[in-house]
Every structure is written in C-alpha cells, then in structure tokens.
Amino acid sequence: MADPTERNSAWIRRYHPRSDSDVRLVCLPHAGGSASFYHPVSAAMPPSVDVVALQYPGRQDRRAEPCATSIAELADEAVAELLPWADRPLLFFGHSLGATLGFEIARRLENDHGIVLGGLFVSARRAPSRVRVETVHLRDDQGVLAEIRRLNGTDAGLLTDPEVQRMVLPAIRADYRAIETYRYEPGPKLRCPVVCLIGDDDPKVTLDEARAWAKHTEGPFTLRAFAGGHFYLSAHQAPIVGLIAGHAATAVSPNTPYPTVQGPTTA
C-alpha cells in the first residue's frame, strides 16, 4: 500500500502529521462545516493519534466543485479517499451530518473491504433508524440562516455579511438537503464500538434518539451527555479529546475490553 502521507487529495486535511502514530482519527464535519473545524482537535491529540479531517466538496478551497447531492454519494467518494489511510486502526469522529456520514462510511468499509473501525464516535445526531421530517433545505436563504443561528453554529456577525452569505449558503443548503433526505437502509450491524455524545439541550436529538444508536452495532455502546446545545463540543474540547485518546489506547490493545455504559453520564 502506498504511503498515504505522499498522496495529495482534495478530501484530506492533515494539520499535525504524526506518521509514527498507533491510531488514525478521521474527523467528519457537520452540515456547512469544513475540515478546519477540527484543527483544534488535531492540535490537542497526543502523538499516538494521527488526525485527518475530511474536506467535503463545495466549500473553502473546494468551493468551485459541485456539492454532493446525498449522504450515499459523500460516503462512496470518501471511502475511496480513506482506503490508503487504513494502514493502522481507524477511529471516526463525526458531528451532526458527519455522524451519519461516518456510520455509512463504516458500513462500506466493513461490508466491502473487511475493515472494522476501532471505534465510531457519533456526536449530536440521532440514530440512523430514527427519522424526523425536516425541510430546512427547502427554505429561502433567510430561513436557512435562521436555522444556523438557532443552533449557534456560526458567528452571527459573519452571517450578516452578504459576501459571506453568498460564499457559504450553497454548501450549507446542499448539506442540509443531503442529510434531510437521508433514509437508513437496513443491513448488517456494525461490529465496532459506538460512542454517542450529545448536548443535553440539543433540539436536534433527544436522549431516546441517541440511545437508539445501540441497535446499530454488535459491539459495545457508550452514551455520554454534556451540558449544552447542538454545538456543545466547543465548550468541552478537553474532556472529549481525553475520551477519544483513551479509547484510541484500547484500539491498539485488542485484549483490553472497551468500557460499556448502559445510560448517559453528564459532564
């Protein structure tokens, strides 16, 4: 297998290369988000964890490229990009849309390539089998912006700038279309551990919807609730990084059991 560090890819951002790491963490952004959202996470990880973040088409330096039209399209393209990086145990961390995308990529890696993740961290997203009818992508521009402000995902001051709006709205709308039209197709359960993280005041996912992730894996399931809303993780970076790093240590020690939590704990 070719050394992935020698490959250039529009999809892959690697801010702090750790070529001698034991584990590789793949970070997947939220709707409208970009790889740079995970720069602080990459900087905070210990040397044992190499971090790569996905850059979806249609934003920042990929703004001239057409956005994906579905989660399936994103997942299929991401798998091809990530295969050369599977030279060591993989962990995924996906926030919101990124959680569902991470799940679909993990399914493809297991079913088509025999690659089982060391762990799948799903943040601020209900289980794939739990459906809500959501139509943010059908709103006018001001309606889409109102939803982003409601979730506190983007600085409100930036959203008042017409030029910023012109640059970011196409990707935001396309991402919302992809996640809101996603429908889970039943299939084999994952075999990897799944760790679900949520904010206890997140309007996009209830505790019951989060618990339902347990039905999508044969591996251990952990649920952890933090104080905050949809972007709770911005205020809890240190404990989240610690949680991932601790899990990464077990991913390279097959004889070490994964911790299983029956219910959520709150931080």
Buried b (16+ CB within 10 A) or exposed e, 64-90: eeebbeebbebbebbbebbebbbeebb
- Distance between CA atoms of 257 and 260, rounded to whole angstroms? 9
**Which residue out of 30, 95, 230, 247 is catalytically annotated?**
230
Residue 30: active-site member: no
212: its two tokens: 């339902």
- Distance between CA atoms of 97 and 176, rounded to whole angstroms? 8
Q: Looking at the chain, which runs of residues are DSSP E strands?
A: 12-13, 23-28, 49-54, 90-95, 119-123, 194-199, 221-226, 265-266
- Distance between CA atoms of 252 and 76, rounded to whole angstroms? 27
- Distance between CA atoms of 17 and 85, rounded to whole angstroms? 12
226: its two tokens: 């933090």
Residue 230: active-site member: yes
C-alpha angle with apex 19: 17 to 23, nearest 5 degrees? 95
Unique residue bearing structure tokens 């109102």: 146
Buried b (16+ CB within 10 A) or exposed e, 153-179: bbeeeebeeeeebeebbebbbbbbbbb
**Which residue out of 21, 34, 42, 96 is catalytically annotated?**
96
Q: Which residues are catalytic?
A: 96, 230
